[in-house]
Amino acid sequence: MTISWLQAIILGIFACLSSMPGMGGTTIGNYTLGRPLVAGLVCGIVLGDVQSGILVGAAMQVVYIALVTPGGTVSADVRAVSYIGIPLAMLAINSYGLDPASAKGIGMATSFGAMVGTLGTVLFYGTATINLVWQHVGWKAVEKGDFKKLYAVDMVLPWISHIICSFIPAVVMCKLGVPVVETIKTTLPMDGIAMKTLFTVGSMLPCVGIAILLKQVVDKAADFVPFFFGFTLAAGMGLNLVSVTVVAGMFAIIYYNLKMVGIKAKEAALASGGSLDDDDEEDI
């Protein structure tokens, strides 16, 4: 498998669209095209192997299932994960002759993705820094009352930042990828310590993604119970993800109804002139 200039250029354009802050906008760019699963489809179509693309994308998606960027701090850059990491992982898997659906294929894909994604944060800060120049142009325009220029500042000029920080890196990395992957292959044999470590790390990395998500929702030990409930349904009882969603949906409805009974009871008590002297009640 090789990547032609045309293929690299198409991947480069998608890198511009998909990053945070991407030119495809937040909803369509970052949260659709930037998700590794969707990018797997795109890379698969561009490189002519849709099935491997999706398998590699799905493997990486687990690592980045909750890419929350609170206050604009990033721990991994989606354009790098999705449009540099996936094509390179596809090349490597192909070159090593691995089955992308196997545990080894997944391990390879996730280690590649995490490596590129972490290095890619440089691209995020690069884009944001170059955007300062356009914002400076914007402030001048606001001062002069030349408001129409704001559209160019917000939606056109940042393309230049992206050509520098998304397009060129993606094209160069995808083109350089082939010889680099070949070099890695000859210098690091599959049964050596380095490759064993790489694949083991690859199988562990998704834990970080899941843990980032848990950090959001778990405050006390009891909050772990829904997580282990879902875990047990799949690992212990062998349900697939869609079935788990249905079961979880049932529990969510029960929880909601229980909560509402409490709220309604409180309202009823208030309406009947009940003397609830709880201070919290005042703001209803």
Partner 1 sequence: MAEKKLSKKALNKSFRNWYYGNLTCFSQEHMQTFGYLCAMLPLVEELYDTKEEQKEAMDTYTAFFNTEPQVGAMIVGITAGLEEAKANGNEDIDGEAINGIRAGLMGPIAGIGDSLVVGTLIPILLGIALGLSSGGSIAGPIFYIVAWNLIITFGMKFLYKKGYELGGKAVDFLVGEQATAIRESIVMLGTMVVGSVAATWVSVKTSFHLVNDAGKEFLNLQNQLDSVYPGCLTAAFVIFCWWLMAKKKVSPVVTMLVLVVIAFVGVLVGFFNPGLKY
Tell me which residues in 104-163 interact with partner 1 (CB under 8 A): 104, 107, 114, 118, 125, 127-129, 131-132, 134-135, 138-139, 142, 145, 147, 150-151, 153-155, 157-158
The CB-of-176 to partner 1 minimum distance in angstroms stands at 24
Other Cβ atoms closer than 10 A to 247: 14
How far apart CA 160 and CA 55 sit, in angstroms, is: 33
Pair 61, 36: CB distance under 8 Å: yes
- Which residues have C-beta within 8 Å of that of residue 26, sequence separation ≥ 6? 20
CB of 267 to partner 1, least distance (A): 9
- In terms of C-beta density within 10 A (0-12 exposed, 13-18 middle, 19 or more buried), how is residue 47 classed? buried
- Residue 158, preceding peptide bond in cis (omega within 30° of 0): no
Give the one residue of 2, 4, 26, 183 binding partner 1; rule: CB under 8 A.
26
CA 49, 50, 55, 59 torsion-angle sign: positive
Candidates 12, 40, 87, 120; binder of partner 1 (CB under 8 A) is 40
Q: Which stretch binds partner 1 (CB under 8 A): 2-10, 82-90, 175-183, 199-207?
A: 199-207
Which of 25, 94, 164, 175 is close enough to bind partner 1 by CB under 8 A?
Answer: 25
Alpha-carbon span 94 to 66, nearest angstrom: 28
Sole window of 2-10, 78-86, 103-111, 173-181 interacting with partner 1 (rule: CB under 8 A): 103-111
Which tokens go with 260?
Answer: 């509402």
Task: List the interface residues with partner 1, window 231-250 (CB under 8 A).
Answer: 231-236, 239-242, 244-245, 247-249
- Number of residues in contact with partner 1 under rule CB under 8 A: 120
Closest contact distance (angstroms) between CB of 189 and partner 1 is: 8
Instruction: CB nearer to partner 1: give 5 or 151.
Output: 151
Question: Which 55-94 residues touch partner 1, going by CB under 8 A?
Answer: 55, 57-59, 61-62, 65-72, 75-76
Q: Looking at 4-102, list the stretches that DSSP marks H as alpha helix, in order from N- to C-terminal side.
A: 5-18, 36-47, 50-63, 78-80, 86-96
Beta carbon of residue 5, minimum distance to partner 1 (angstroms, whole number): 26
